[in-house]
Structure 1
Amino acid sequence: MKIQKSFAQSVGTLYLVPTPIGNLEDMTFRAVKTLQTVDLIASEDTRNTQKLLNHFEVKVPQKSLHEHNYNERIPELLDFLRDGKSIAQVSDAGMPSISDPGHELVVACIEADIPVVALPGATAGMTALIASGLLPQPFYFYGFLQRKKSSQKKELEDLRNQTATLIFYESPHRVKETLKNVAEVFGNREVVICRELTKLYEEYLRGTAEELIEYLSEHSLKGECCLLVSGATEIAEEEVFEGTLKEQVEALISEGQTSKEAIKSVAKRHNLKKQDVYKEYHEL
């Protein structure tokens, strides 16, 4: 067990500073002051963050911290904090760690008894949720789904019985195909797409999954999207299969499948390897 006294430490502090998701006016006074007074800013992309720092006249130096360099960068940052200096961590937009880099440094600081202080601020998922018209609570934030269709459908299958409103992040180029998978796995639920949050062309598309798929077949979207899906109202019952694996294969063969087809079907229904079902069937 560990107890953190956030503002009573002799070592440095890691501040997690949210940045605007579009509109620079969403930067808080506290966030600007923190960036101005820390000793170092750890940024997902230093070039992108420099634009923000220039706008608010912040002169503090930066070091990059992203998914490709955190293993070698974190020890360096921990030494910096142990010397009593402070660091502000930022991502390109929104909250650090939320579908962005940051979590690894937070864990490392906690393990090293270095205080971690999170500042409140902009985050796309919650911003889209409260204006979506879907139930705001409970909600289930998922972030980005897998790109590969089969992997994405498997993720959606695991979420099918979630009664909470689901929040996903998605590229405008993939959102139509993702919606097709949503409709196939979840059925024709209420869906909201929000794009260009806080920007001049902010837009909410509200309707059923099928209505939005039809719209997207004739229109293209620009800007990162939040995809919100209403939760399940009826819980799908798990299909129960009687008999051993061998008996299930034999039952399918009696219905007209070949032994190869039956083995493949039984393996799929139980998420097993075909070889394992084959051995059971042939008693090897």
Structure 2
Amino acid sequence: MESLRSDFGSTEAEMRQLHVMMVPWLSKSHIRAFLELAKKLGAHGLKISFLSAPLNIRWIRQQLQPIPEIDLLELPLPSIDGLPEGVESTADLKRGGTFGLLLKAMDEWEKSFEALLERISPDLMAAALPHGFVERTQRRGLLVTEWAPQLHILAHSSTGAFLNHCGWISVSEGLRFGVPFVTLPLQYEQGLNAKLIAQELKLGVEVRRNEEDDSFSKEDICRAVCTLMVEEEGRQIRSRVQEISRDLTRNDSQIYRANIQSFVSLIKQKVSCK
């Protein structure tokens, strides 16, 4: 913990602010999204502790003007055999190592948080940390193992559907560009998001799984894709997604401001109930 550094000091006045700690997944797209949210929450008077690995914080400093409410914190990743020094995000994997080794480093990284949380003691924490994941690759089609320009892919006219784990960032990006979903949740809140998308809002098709062990096959995925892209049910889904996309882009600023204000109110309500 001696290596932890802060860009900004804390005054007594700052400590009386509602304090949120943000720990994004080690991906440039996730860091960028968390950072934008941190700016908005800071503008609403919240104090933000924003934690990542040192090279990611250096990357942030190149884009972020110093904001008193955002406290940038560095916490180095532990050394993992096979993972080269300087690999601190998925975009760095081109230098060597594998996604599985980066996940292993993040699993070890989590162990350093206990002392940090005791020292900082935030009111709330927004974190996206792994608990292990098995890497599998196949020599078929185009396989991107590093960072991929997801927004450019979703915006392309030839993109007909989005096979998606239903993390909320990817869901919101898919809706913005009018791309319907084939939902395949893996962990955390993704199952609830998938049910909302496929069952409640009818904006995608769910990959069916074995009820006993939650497994699925390539045939299950093919069936969901065919339903979405060929059948009448899929035509109706695509139409609804396009309609929502038009509404989102037409009222983007107004919806965004309202969502931020609602989120800040929810945070204050949660903290006041402690």
Q: Which has the larger radius of gyration?
A: 1
Structure with more of its chain in helix, by fraction: 2
Structure with more of its chain in strand, by fraction: 1
The structure whose RCO (Cα within 8 Å, separation 6+) is larger is 1
